Amino acid sequence: MNSLIHARGLVKRFDGFTAVDGIDVDVRPGEAFGFLGPNGAGKSSTMRMIGCVSPPSDGVLRILGMDPRRDGPAIRARLGVCPQLDNLDPELTVRENLTTYARFFGIPRKVARARATELLDFVQLGERAGSRVDPLSGGMKRRLTIARALINEPDLVLLDEPTTGLDPQARHLVWERLFRLKQQGVTLVLTTHYMDEAEQLCDRLVVMDGGRIVAEGSPRELIAAHSTREVVELRFPTEDQGAYADELKGIGERIEVLPDRILLYVADGDDALAEVHRRSLTPVGSLARRSSLEDVFLRLTGRTLVD
């Protein structure tokens, strides 16, 4: 078995409620693997089991070839964990947040100091090394949490919603650093409910909904398997978009009626738009775009990711 994470029939229950409902996962060395799904899908519960902070209720789980029920400390020593909420120490400086954390791993002080300098440069916080954490922006705190997760030179880095709550510029900076880590061969496992994040970062991902995996593959494979090449979005000047669905029949392979727009799944967006106009339909808004993971999610669950 060459997987860094190997799960079969993995289950997490809370007082009779099943948050993770029998999932199978294999994460290979060097890949960036994602859990994509809306709030409540079971992503964090899965990550917490992988991070050895929450024991599985049932099923098989091996992390780095070890059993989290038995080998938690040995596994945690080789993991880097970036939790959903930054839990940095506001009393300490940026640098001290790294060097203090290094003590949990028994890293000698001198080594920890050198690594902290290197990591702060890596996340572009070198100039803030001596400042307190409080005045840092959300994006800086996130980058510091990522640096902290790397202090023990982990084999596997777990990132729970690495860019939730950040503005677009801060998100791109985090993505860029994670991309760099990926290039260095670090195995990344992340959760996200942003389809663009999954598309940008993940080599492979599973789509989760209601505690189950509903699809698995690379972003490209998922789109090829579950959507058309292009999508036309139309917005009509009415409360009920569905009133137009009949008149659009036959354009493309599939129609989805959402509360605020209609989606036509088509091979060629321009051709489809031309046909819409030929039928004398006059949407107030229209655009043709490539299919995305959002479309895959909608197809598989009947809901949008950000419902």
Closer to ligand ATP by Cβ: residue 138 or 210: 210
Q: Which of 44, 152 has the CB closer to ligand ATP? A: 44
For residue 16, the minimal CB distance to ligand ATP (Å) is 10
Q: Which among 76, 101, 85, 94 is positioned nearest to 151, based on CA atoms? A: 101
- The least distance separating ligand ATP from the CB of residue 192, rounded to whole angstroms, comes to 9
Measured from the CB atom, the residue of 45 and 241 that comes closer to ligand ATP is: 45
Tokens for 15, please give them: 């007082």
Q: What is the nearest approach in angstroms of ligand ATP to the Cβ of residue 51?
A: 12
Does residue 193 contact residue 161 with C-beta atoms inside 8 Å?
Answer: yes
Query: For binding to ligand ATP (CB under 6 A), which residues are involved?
Result: 14, 17, 19, 37, 39-45, 193
Task: Report, in Å, the least distance between residue 14 CB and ligand ATP.
Answer: 3
CB of 218 to ligand ATP, least distance (A): 21
205 vs 276 by CB, closer to ligand ATP: 205
Contact indicator for 119, 111 with CB cutoff of 8 Å? no
- What is the C-alpha separation between 67 and 120, in angstroms, rounded? 33
Find residue 12's DSSP bridge partners: 20
The C-alpha atoms of residue 196 and residue 193 are separated, in whole angstroms, by: 9
Give residue 96's Cα distance to chain centre: 29
Strands 187-192 and 32-36, bridge-based pairing: parallel
Q: Shortest gap between Cβ of 155 and ligand ATP (angstroms)?
A: 23
Closest Cα partner for 94 from 163, 154, 145? Answer: 145
Cα 269 from Cα 251, distance rounded (Å):
10
What does the alpha-carbon distance between residue 180 and residue 197 come to, in Å, rounded to a whole number? 15
Q: Which is nearer to ligand ATP, 6 or 43 (CB)?
A: 43
Which of residues 53 and 114 has its CB atom nearest to ligand ATP in the complex?
A: 53
